[in-house]
Structure 1
Amino acid sequence: MSLRQLQVMVCVLSTCLVSVLWAQPSFLMGPDPTWVVLSSPVQSPVAIAFEQEGNAFDVRVRVHKPQDDTSRVEIDLGLAAQSHVKLDQSKAQVHTSAEQLIYHFTVPVNQLISQESDWQKFAFGLAVTQVTTGARPVRSITRFHHQDNRAVFNAMSDNPAHWMPFDMQAYKTTLAQQSSLITVDFEQPIDGKASIVIQDADGLPVRNLVSGYDFNEGSQRVLWDGLSDKGELVTPGTYTWRGITHAGIKPQYMMRFANGDDNTWQSWGPNHSTFKEVTTNGKHIFLAANITEGGQSLVKLDLDGKFIQGYRHMHGLGIERSLIAADDTYLYVVQDGNTWGRRNEKGNWVYDQKVTLVRYDLQSSKPINYAKATGSVGHGSRYITVDTMKVGPGSNNPNWHDLNLVGTAMVGNRLYIATRLNSTIFIHNTQDGLQIDTLKLPGVGRLAATPDGRIIAIVNGNELVSIDANKNIKPLAKLNGIDPRNISVGPDGRIYISDNISHQVIILTSSGKVHRRLGNPGGEYKGKFDIQRMVHPHGMTIAPDGKLWVVEDRWNPKRVLAWDRNLSKVVIEKFGSPQYGGPGTGFDPKHHTHIIAGQCLWEVDPATRSSKLISIFQEKPGMIDGCIRTPLYFRHHRVNGRTFLIGSSKATFVCELLADGTLKDMAALSSTPMFAYACNWKPPQTYVDAYYKQFPELKPKDANAPLVGRGSPLNTRGKGGVLWVDRNGDGKTQGDEYSFYPQMPDVSVGYWGFAAKDLILHMFVKNDNQWEILKIKPNGFDSHGTPQYATLGDAIKQGTNPIQATMRGFQSAIVDSHERIVVNADPNMIGLNPDGSLLWQMANPWLGVHGSHKAPLPQVGVMQGNLYFLGAAKLDDNADLLMTNGNHGRFFMMTSDGLYVDEMFRDVRQSRVLDNYTIGGEPFGGYFGKADDDGKYYLHAGNFRLYEIQNVNTIKRMAGSIDVTVEKLNVATQRQLKVLEKQKQDKVATVTWLDKAPRIDGNSNDWSKEQINWDSSGQYPVAVKLGYDKDNLYVHAAVRNDDSPWVNGGKDWTNLFKTGDSLNIELALDPDAKAKRRTSAHGDIRLLIAPFEKKNIAVLYRYKSDSKQNAVEFASPWRSVIVDSVTELVDVQIGVKKQHNWYSIELAIPFKALGTDSPAGKVIKGDLGINYGDSVGEVTRLRSYWSNKATALVNDVPGEIMQHPDMWSNIRFEDRP
């Protein structure tokens, strides 16, 4: 075959070949093909090898050597072709090693064949006998390569027809190919890992051959299949290779910082909000925030502030306010506001905004039903509807944008709930949740209970009244000069008011007179941290040990504190939790224990695992006039004794860290929509004015149309970039400090940012459909000390460098210490020289959050879901070390000159262990760098965890060359074609008719052998058998390699798909439904089977139903899904059998319960899936389905409950006999 023919063949098949490459590393040489292994994994090793040289035919049999002198081995060997011979060990030379015996037989070729074609008839048989000598000898026979269907412990057959044929020609061909393989030889200095990249004669990348694979110490040889990274056959010639070896890069957990003192895997508090409420039941402290996505928003602490447990807010209820009370049995949560994922409709929409009451068992944290509750949206008797108001343009309250719930207090078994709309206090019985009384109180606000059973209420904003058990109202005091945020009453009757003017706690006597003020006044501040200066104090409670607990409603930092019983000093502080993903970190390489978190500066001490707050960056948390809470991370850069912080996110920021510990904004660069997005679509008014001045045609003519927001003209694409520079040196924005350049409409810093290393700003601009690199270098500093940048237009006019590589869908980029730019792009991560020329590329499939949802299970050296670069740290004189965060919690390390190094942390889909080496999904935060003061590498990740990255010092470089010939390429192509023969066909599952129903006990002994099988990238195998009769569908599923089999700790039976192991059956029962639909239709169901509260439960999700009586809403911050009917099927029989790492489940599902008849002879669409949870059944880590392989999403409730009928396969019910 000519080279051209080879290239055409491989070009046609390249797509298939590349997909196979992902399945198994193509560089593995595999076992020595000389030896054919005959034994099974459970047998003593036996192998055979053949070699013909002239008229001599050599056969070698390799067996395990007996470990003592009381045993010997006997060999019986039969060879047959045109003729046959039978040999035993007496005819062999025996070669002995420490572990093996090799029996070497030589037979004249003419005793077997008379012509070369006779080798097509070749067959052999073998028997190995272990003989134990002594007074009572024992003979143990194992025979191999027989086809007479007799047991393996029988003696070897004397009949050559019973010996199994062997393809001698294929064997010889395989051996002949060994000398024509394209290989790379290298030395692995220590047990560890290696990476190898192949380049052409010009040094351009050809193939990333080996990426972070494990090798033992010693000489190594790896195979190159002759393909480039594109799957194309290379041309003959000389190629170079370079690579690295190392011992394996390891993260060593050190501590958590700025995130409480508790060693909990999840953050101890909320991420999307702050704690606002605190109460006590006389035994514990309870905290409440209104919303979180990860971490805890309802928390129980001990009296010393140690985290005990959290309680999960119920889906579908208000997320804008949560007020709490607690007794010895329950935590009561009253909620109000919009629900998660709700979007306002167009037109005169109306929405029922509810105030609801839920109770949680203090010990188990489960929501406890109310027998006579008024709840809806599928939660049935889970909650009480306290009050409802209609809001929206079509309601009687079209301009209402506030909350109805204003106060809660508990006296005995009475819960007082105050709402604003009707100025009413609703009184509910805590035992059954029902309303027992009401009280009209105009201007009602916050409530607190007194020791003698009265209620103290704030009315009209700053007045106090007392309400006794008979609902008598008595004026108490007027709070002049005080802006009350919350109220509490101590056991001595004193009244505590959190004041939003002085930011102090005002302590009143029981009669309402001011007794004292607590805390240093002043409120928001920046600079040196003052432990006794509260900022926006909110909820308060007096603990039984006399401490006053206060929660602060602020972000920089989030803080919960306790004053000692004498109210003289703060004795407990709990900081955090970080916002979602833990962004906004960084450390000073000159003082690596100085760490940034929560827009503050901290000093950490890994030895004591403690962190001390040093200073607060800004009065109002955030940059650009407080509109951007934090970048993803900061990189330090020093110039002339000054310290600059370079921030990276949807914009690039330049700030100066001043000597007093505050931060001064100096510059920002982004595209116009991304700048607004970085400000959560509410940028400074100075930007809004400058934007519409630059683009007057975009300003809405309708006076009621929004000027800001995601749906406003601020989100107009193709308007170029924006550069803000603090030209007057005040650290604030002015309208004339923004420069735009719409003449270059397509610009980008990426979704996750373009991380600069110094004061030189970078941006990608598109010129004539060609991406180019823009560098904006300051011309020194102006008189205010601000970097002197040109306007954006002038900077572009000064020139850009065209990028000489394909850069599609890029999400982030970083600049290394050699001025190289590395781009996190699709389909490849690319390294660019400063002039834009391509330096290297590395396969980067499944880019970003959404790309990761389609990714298979992890494979060594294959990056998945890369988000952005966490930083760059010098490795050697050639390159920096870079690290990326993958969306499934794996972090990847590579060099900036294009060598993959290693990965760290567990994939969230596989991890059964929640410890400090599991980061979790959507890790939108972190920072990686090298400390100058101790020379070590450090990582911030996992919501403010600190790691030392070890073994970087073991990285060694290596290089060499390879000669590639036409003959070698021919052999490579033939090997690849064999791999393609293993491609799978379309899926069809057969449901067999059963004359006799199986016993539902989890066993499979009364089932046939026919089954469907699947796994996740070669892991977690599942086998399912399907059967039916006139009444029932029967299912048997066997799940293997589950280290925590059949565990689901969910508290809510409607949500068990999120909390651990489950079996999921999806069926399309309506034959009239649109075949190619992408969303659920009538007749589409999911049946979920899971363990729940020491039993097994069957939950039926009917996605479209005429009745909405049992509807359930599943929500996340950005979307929600309502399943029309969610019910428990009590008629489903469930049998489960489990062992230490596997389980099997057997079902009898009545067709009647599914709402259908027995579908005999029909073909329907459907799917089967297994959800795998962590070891304790808290969260689902992996969804593995038979048909739909796009099930990697495990961080979004709506996405996990949604169906994808277009991804289902055929399920065929056999005809009924």
Structure 2
Amino acid sequence: RNLRSEPLKAAETLAGESLPKAPIPIRFTLPKPGYVSLVIEKPDGFRVRNLVSETQFPAGENVVWWDGSDDLGRDADAAMHGVFNIPVRFVEPGAYRVRGIVRDAIRPHYEFSVYTTGDPPWTTEDSTGAWLANHSPPQAAAFVPASQSPTGKPVVYLGCYVTEGPSGLAWVDPADGRKLGGKKWVGGHWTAAPFLARDAGPNADPGTHVYVGSTWETEKNSGIGELRITALTQKGDKPIVKLSLGKLAEESPGAEERTEDLLGGIAVHNGIAVAAMNRENKLRFIDVSEGKEVRALSVPDPRGLIFDAKGDLLVISGNRLLRFPLGQGEPVILTATGLEDPQGITTDSQGNIYISDWGTSHQVKVFTPDGKFIRPIGKAGKPAAGKYDPLRMNHPHGIAVDDRGQLWVTEHDYMPKRVSVWTVDGKLVNAFYGPGKYGGGGALDPADKSKFYYADEGHGTLEFNLDWEKGSWSLENVLYRRTADEMKLSFRAGGPEQAVYRDGRRYFT
């Protein structure tokens, strides 16, 4: 309609309605019900208004109304008041056209899920569905025998740091990794189970399955750090201690970033829990029955720790492995070479020691009980973009050996999130992937639906191959892995996952 030749007039009031409608009617006819989108454009195709979007209309004659304004303005202060407002501005007089598209109702049906181990992949009432945390990757592992298990059968606990779902802590069947149960938070808001420990001492509490250690803020935005140790018991979660750790560093805005490196690990023996406090350079000893700290021990850069079968405390200190006889006295240095950036530690039934190491290797390294190197597990190499190799670990962290002689490794990495299972002599047995980020994500290739791309916020982008007939998927490539020296992305910004083809080349936005 040419607005220059006809002045705007108030619209007639429809029967039964008291408010006048916008002055310009846009009429259209549908042969059957459908979902309609309408836009207003200048003759050259410049769009001035998105009038109707994905709105259902019945078959027959229909009308919508345009008030003559555009939607080109933007609310620069939306972040301050939380509601996005488009400033009203009338279009210039002239000729305009309406274009529209219509579609039938989309009736989705479930095919299969990508990048998840859960069966089913969604949350169920008994917590056996879905998998691990959305916000953070796997970080902790602990084997619990039948005598201490919540199921009466052996289980492996797997833990993550922070989650809003599905499970920040899960327990699985060692035989096949099937999820037997899970929970969201442990010990307080936001934190799940970044560190796990079982008390294998003769005087352990028989009603406790496993202990969980984490750090967070005392209250939201308090800026005060807190150590949380919780016992998972037959009667439910039992808080052991919540210790204030003082004012947090202010260089990072989020509680997760400021508290993640406060704790390096926990170990428990005969009712005494030991927390490795990284920044404090000490071990805190806590009586779990009293919920009180009983003593402290200075140790430089303490990380993963565990009590061995004799009750000696093994502690990673920087890149060294120390042994404290019965958790006291002066330590014995078991090894001072061969470790670059060690993280987690566990032992097997023979007393052999397993340590997850980063640096240039990203392997699990095996030592004799007296600290002599035996072998590595996994291919050596730093995490990198390129062809995905399941025989390489990315940031191996919490580890545990089960009663079947299998080594469980939680890989503290987003590209991909993975729990891998190995024989103790280094053969890959199984791997469990995912889940995706908060809110999900991913995109099919517009030219090849067998390719699926998934970006985990700013961490990077994965490429999967899909088999639609079998309803299965496989991880093929890490297309993009963000490095520390790259341009900083905005908070929770997505990596490139939308494929675009031009002149025979594939691009991503």
TM-score, L = length of structure 1: 0.32
Match of 1:252 among 106, 109, 112: 109
CA contact (8 A) 2:12 2:20 kept: no
Q: Does the 8 A contact of 2:187 with 2:228 survive in 1?
A: no
One-letter code aligned to 1:604: L
CA distance 1:7–1:256, shift in 2 (3 Å): same
**Structure 1 residues 187, 263: CA separation in 2 closer, same or farther (over 3 Å shift)?**
same
Task: Write the mapping of 1:943-1022 to structure 2, written as runs, cut at 5 A.
Answer: none
User: What is the CA deviation profile of residues 964-1002 of structure 1, one whole-angstrom value per residue up to 9, with x for unaligned ones?
Assistant: xxxxxxxxxxxxxxxxxxxxxxxxxxxxxxxxxxxxxxx
Aligned residue among 195, 208, 211 for 2:55: 211
Task: Check if 1:625 corresponds to 2:507.
Answer: no
Match of 2:465? 603
- Displacement of 1:508: 0.5
Deviations 1:22-73, CA, capped at 9 Å, x for gaps: xxxxx9xxxxxxxxxxxxxxxxxxxxxxxxxxxxxxxxxxxxxxxxxxxxxx
Choose from 185, 190, 195 the match for 1:323.
195
Q: CA deviation at 1:562?
A: 0.5
Give 1:423 deviation, angstroms. 4.7
Q: How does 1:582-593 map to 2 (within 5 A)?
A: 582-583=440-441, 585-593=442-450
Contact 2:187 2:229 in 1 (8 A): no
Equivalent pair of 2:36/2:103 in contact (CA under 8 Å): no
The amino acid of 2:134's aligned partner reads N
Aligned match for 2:132, one of 229, 246, 269: 269
1:210-236 deviation per Cα after TM superposition (whole angstroms, max 9, x unaligned): 9324x6xxxx54464xx623399xxxx
Q: Cα–Cα, structure 1 residues 636 and 622, in superposed 2: closer, same or farther, change >3 Å?
A: farther
Equivalent of 1:299 in 170, 177, 192: 170
Report deviation, 1:588: 3.0
Q: 1:221 to 1:463 in 2, by over 3 A?
A: closer
Quote the Cα distance in structure 1 between the aligned partners of 2:326 and 2:335.
19
Q: Tell me the secondary structure at the aligned position of residue 592 of structure 1.
A: coil
Task: Work out the CA distance in 2 between the residues paired with 1:201 and 1:512.
Answer: 77
Q: What letter is aligned with 2:159?
A: A
- Cα deviation 1:871-922 (Å, max 9, x = unaligned): xxxxxxxxxxxxxxxxxxxxxxxxxxxxxxxxxxxxxxxxxxxxxxxxxxxx
Is the 1:445–1:461 Cα contact (8 Å) retained in structure 2?
Answer: no
Residue 250 of structure 1: SS of its match in structure 2? coil
- Does the C-alpha gap of structure 1 residues 340 and 312 become closer, same or farther in structure 2, counting only changes over 3 Å? farther
Residue 451 of structure 1: aligned partner = 309
Are 2:184 and 1:288 aligned? no
The answer for the alignment partner of 1:836 in structure 2 is: none
Deviations 1:1130-1177 (A, max 9, x none): xxxxxxxxxxxxxxxxxxxxxxxxxxxxxxxxxxxxxxxxxxxxxxxx
Tell me, what secondary structure is at the counterpart of 1:254? coil
Tell me how far apart the structure 1 counterparts of residues 479 and 27 of structure 2 sit (CA, whole Å).
Answer: 56
How do residues 371-450 of structure 1 correspond to structure 2 at under 5 angstroms? 382=239, 384-386=241-243, 388-391=245-248, 403-420=261-278, 423-430=281-288, 432=289, 434-435=291-292, 437-443=294-300, 444-450=302-308
Deviation of 1:15 (Å): 9.9
Shift of 1:534: 1.4
Unaligned runs of 5+ in 2: 1-5, 70-95, 124-129, 146-153, 200-206, 251-257, 456-460
Structure-1 separation of matches of 2:54 and 2:407: 60
Q: CA deviation at 1:526?
A: 2.9
Aligned to 1:569: 427
Distance 1:391 1:296, change over 3 A: same
The match for 2:478 is 616
- 2:449 is paired with a residue whose SS is strand
- Out of 457, 478, 498, the residue aligned to residue 634 of structure 1 is 498
Mapping of 1:684-723 within 5 angstroms? none
1:334 aligns to 2:210 (yes or no): no
Matched, 1:358 2:230: yes
Matched, 1:508 2:367: yes
**Structure 1 position 407, deviation (Å):** 2.4
**1:493 and 2:364 aligned:** no
Q: How many residues align?
A: 432
| Code of the aligned partner of 1:448 | I
Q: Distance in 1 between matches of 2:261 and 2:41?
A: 66
Q: Secondary structure at the match of 2:365?
A: strand
Cα deviation for residue 477 of structure 1 reads 1.1
SS at match of 2:475: strand
Secondary structure of the corresponding residue to residue 477 of structure 1: strand
Deviation at 1:548, TM superposition (A): 0.2
- % of aligned pairs identical? 21
Please report how far the alpha carbon of residue 456 of structure 1 lies from its aligned counterpart in structure 2 after TM superposition: 1.2
* Cα distance between partner residues in 1 of 2:39 and 2:410: 58
- Cα distance in structure 1, aligned partners of 2:404 and 2:390: 21
Q: Give me the whole-angstrom Cα distance separating, in 1, the residues matched to 2:10 and 2:41.
A: 17
Residue 198 of structure 1, CA deviation: 10
Residue 4 to residue 567, structure 1, CA distance change in 2 (3 Å): same
Cα distance in 2 for residues equivalent to 1:325 and 1:538? 14
CA deviations 1:1095-1127 (Å, max 9, x no partner) are xxxxxxxxxxxxxxxxxxxxxxxxxxxxxxxxx
AA matched with 1:354: E
Conserved? CA contact 1:277–1:540, under 8 Å: yes
TM-score normalised by L of structure 2: 0.71
Report the 3-state secondary structure (helix = DSSP H, G, I; strand = E; otherwise coil) of the residue aligned with 1:367.
Answer: strand
The answer to whether the 8 A contact 2:445-2:498 is kept is no
Structure 1 residue 414 displacement after superposition:
3.3
**Pairing of 1:74-89 with structure 2 (within 5 A):** none
CA pair 507-15 structure 1, distance change in 2 beyond 3 A: farther
2 CA distance for matches of 1:510 and 1:249? 62
Contact kept? 2:155, 2:172, Cα under 8 Å: yes
Mark the CA change 1:473 to 1:624 in structure 2 (over 3 Å): closer, same or farther.
Answer: closer
- Deviation, 1:549, is 0.5
Q: CA separation in 2, counterparts of 1:15 and 1:562?
A: 69
Counterparts in 2 of 1:8 and 1:505: CA distance versus 1, 3 Å: closer
Following the alignment from structure 2 to structure 1, what is the Cα–Cα distance between the partners of residues 8 and 383?
A: 75
Matches within 5 A, 1:24-103: none
Q: In the superposition, relative to structure 1, how do residues 624 and 611 fare at CA in structure 2: closer, same or farther (>3 Å)?
A: farther
Deviation readout 1:706-761 (Å, 9 max, x if unpaired): xxxxxxxxxxxxxxxxxxxxxxxxxxxxxxxxxxxxxxxxxxxxxxxxxxxxxxxx
SS of the equivalent of 2:194 reads: strand
Instruction: Mark the CA change 1:429 to 1:241 in structure 2 (over 3 Å): closer, same or farther.
Output: same
Match among 436, 439, 462 for residue 578 of structure 1: 436
Separation in 1 of the partners of 2:447 and 2:53? 38
Cα 1:316–1:525, aligned 2, differ >3 Å: closer, same or farther? same
Contact persistence 1:476–1:511 (CA under 8 A) = no
Shift of 1:516: 1.1
Deviation of 1:268 (Å): 2.1
Name the amino acid aligned to 1:496.
Y
- Indicate the SS of the match to 2:10: helix
Q: Which has the higher helix share?
A: 1
Radius of gyration: which is bigger?
1
Q: How does 1:1079-1094 map to 2 (within 5 A)?
A: none
Say if 2:213 and 2:265, in contact at 8 Å, map to a contact too: no
CA drift of 1:255 comes to 1.3
- Is the alpha carbon distance of 1:254 and 1:271 closer, same or farther for their aligned partners in structure 2, counting shifts above 3 Å? same
Do the aligned partners of 1:459 and 1:465 also contact (CA within 8 Å) in 2?
A: no
Match of 1:644 in 2: 506
Displacement of 1:251:
1.9
**Amino acid in the other structure paired with 1:263:** P
Query: The residue matched to 1:556 in structure 2 has which SS?
Result: coil
- State whether residues 216 and 259 of structure 2, in contact with CA within 8 Å, keep that contact through their aligned partners in structure 1: no
How far is the alpha carbon of 1:10 from its aligned partner? 5.7
Distance 1:15 1:388, change over 3 A: farther
What is the CA-CA distance between 1:278 and the residue it aligns to? 1.2
How much does 1:274 deviate? 1.8
Give CA deviations for 1:505-525 in whole Å, capped at 9, x if unaligned.
110111111111111111223
Structure 1 position 563, deviation (Å): 0.5
Q: Is the 8 A contact 1:407 1:445 kept in 2?
A: yes
CA RMSD of aligned residues (A): 4.3
Instruction: Output one character per residue of 1:1023-1056: Cα deviation in whole Å (capped at 9) or x when no partner.
Output: xxxxxxxxxxxxxxxxxxxxxxxxxxxxxxxxxx
**How far does the alpha carbon of each residue in 1:796-847 deviate from its partner, in whole angstroms, 9 at most, with x for none?**
xxxxxxxxxxxxxxxxxxxxxxxxxxxxxxxxxxxxxxxxxxxxxxxxxxxx
